[in-house]
Chain A
Amino acid sequence: MRPSPGRHPLSREFIARHQRARIISALAEETVEKGYRAVTVADIVRRAGIARNTFYENFSSKEDCFLAAAEFGVNETLRQIVEASGKVDGWPARVNAGLAAFLRYVASDPALARLCVVEALSAGPASVERYEESVQSFLPLFRMGRKLCPHGEDLPGTLEETIIGGIFWIVYQRIIMGQAEQIEELRPELVEFSLAPYLGAEAAKRVAAEAPPLAS
């Protein structure tokens, strides 16, 4: 994706996008260290190695920057999940592929993942609302499983919400324990956890044992 250096000059747009991404990841890293509330624009600017003006050209406030970071993280995760699950057929295999993509993304950017999964609840009402929206956007991906379940109608109404909450919690715990790099090893367990209520434990285990498609 990155233009090779020297061959064409970096466009203004590329620099701007790059700057934005750098500010976002500086915010995510500062947030991991101090918690969202304690982070200042000065901290972000220092870590990103940019001028204060540059920060304000991109974001109106710390909160604005945080919301952009969370939105970026969630959109990017969803995009990768949809892409990965589109490569396979059938809902169980899609859940397997989607969770693999999700964990791969978390491993690639633990600070941003943590921001989206946990800190989002601590960053004020607008962020909490966004968090709720992101949970809602994951729900349909699981709810499809009810069609494959003979007693799908009778499953608890909140099942998908508790599954997603459980996955987020496990991911969060591994991140704070500094185990983000090994997080992809959790795929089989989380696939089983997600599929078992719909397919039964045996069938869920069989799907979890299949290797998901590789990243593109």
Chain B
Amino acid sequence: MAASADPPVEPARDYPPELARLPPGRHGLPREFVAHNQRERLIAGIAEAIAENGYSGTTIAHITRHAAVSRRTFYEHFASKDECFVAAYDTVMEELRERVAGAFEDEDEWPRAVRAGIGAMLAFLAAEPHLARLCMVEALVAGPVVVERYDAAIQSFVPYFRGGREGRPPEVLERLSPTTEEALVGGMVSLISRRIIAGKTAELETLLPDLVEFTLTPYLGSAEAAKVAQAS
């Protein structure tokens, strides 16, 4: 599988404190490492609570229990469960975006950069099933404010693909429609979300060759795209 060529998931010390505190995934920081910052604990707490109960089933009491803070402390930081979720969502997405950007920028050629970026996204989500669920599935449940952020976050991946237009021959540029990149991102995210919902988060990295071929084909043609997708 092409995924084996990807760099291993970053160790826990590279996580921002909110995420490093989270128990799911492979980093497994002991409780002693728990950041003392209450806000961070609450953000981590909501992610744990949601992993257990889903967004709708999560109460403030669940969050404060996981965060080991009082209800009063919760309300000193957040006005509502929704507000706490927004903070958690933003933290996870920032981390995901940074990983994608880092992997993308490490490659010189655009097709390989796309492959690295998608690989980094799949690796992060596969290693952090609870965070994957939070940002790709539960975000949609959490009401209009988060849905708006979700939309903006997904659209923020469009420019990576749009870069593929640079230096393409005129006949290729001419047939690329203005919505090509949006459709590619939407198709990719939709597939990932459905796999997470189906409980196949751990296998997300096996999607890498398919997603690379799908996203590169409009720019490179299917033969060339397949070659990049299968390259190790």
Contact = CB atoms under 8 A, between A and B. Distances in A.
Partners in one complex: yes
Interface of A: 34-35, 37-38, 118-119, 121-122, 124, 128, 132, 135, 151, 154-159, 161-170, 172-173, 176, 186, 188-190, 192-193, 196-197, 200-202, 205
A49 B179 CA distance: 40
Given A121-B193, A192-B177, A193-B218, 20 more contacts: A118-B140, A132-B197, A156-B209, A158-B210, A158-B214, A161-B187, A162-B187, A162-B188, A164-B187, A165-B187, A165-B191, A165-B194, A166-B187, A169-B185, A170-B182, A173-B182, A189-B179, A193-B183, A201-B221, A202-B175
A35 B144 contact: yes
Given A156-B213, A201-B175, A166 B184 contact: yes
B193 A38 contact: no
Interface-centre pick from A37, A118, A168 (highest chain B CB count, 10 A): A37
B137 interface: yes
B207 to A, nearest CB: 7
Contact of B186 (A168, A201, A205): A168
B231 interface: no
Given A38-B143, A121-B137, A168 B222 contact: no
Contacts of A161: 187, 190-191, 194
A159 B229 CA distance: 14
Question: How many interface residues does chain B have, given as a range?
Answer: 35 or more
Given A156-B213, A196-B218, A197-B222, A169 B191 contact: no
Interface-centre pick from B155, B182, B186 (highest chain A CB count, 10 A): B186
A35 B147 CA distance: 9
Contacts of B154: 169
Contacts of A172: 186
A193 B186 contact: no
B207 A158 contact: yes
Interface string B14-34: 000000000000000000000
Instruction: Tell me if B's interface is mostly helix, strand, loop or mixed.
Output: helix
Instruction: Tell me if A's interface is mostly helix, strand, loop or mixed.
Output: helix
B177 A159 contact: no
Nearest to B188: A162
A162 B195 CA distance: 12
Interface in B173-232: 175, 177-180, 182-191, 193-194, 197-198, 207, 209-211, 213-214, 217-218, 221-222, 226, 229
Contacts of A165: 186-191, 194
Nearest to A163: B187
A168 B190 contact: yes
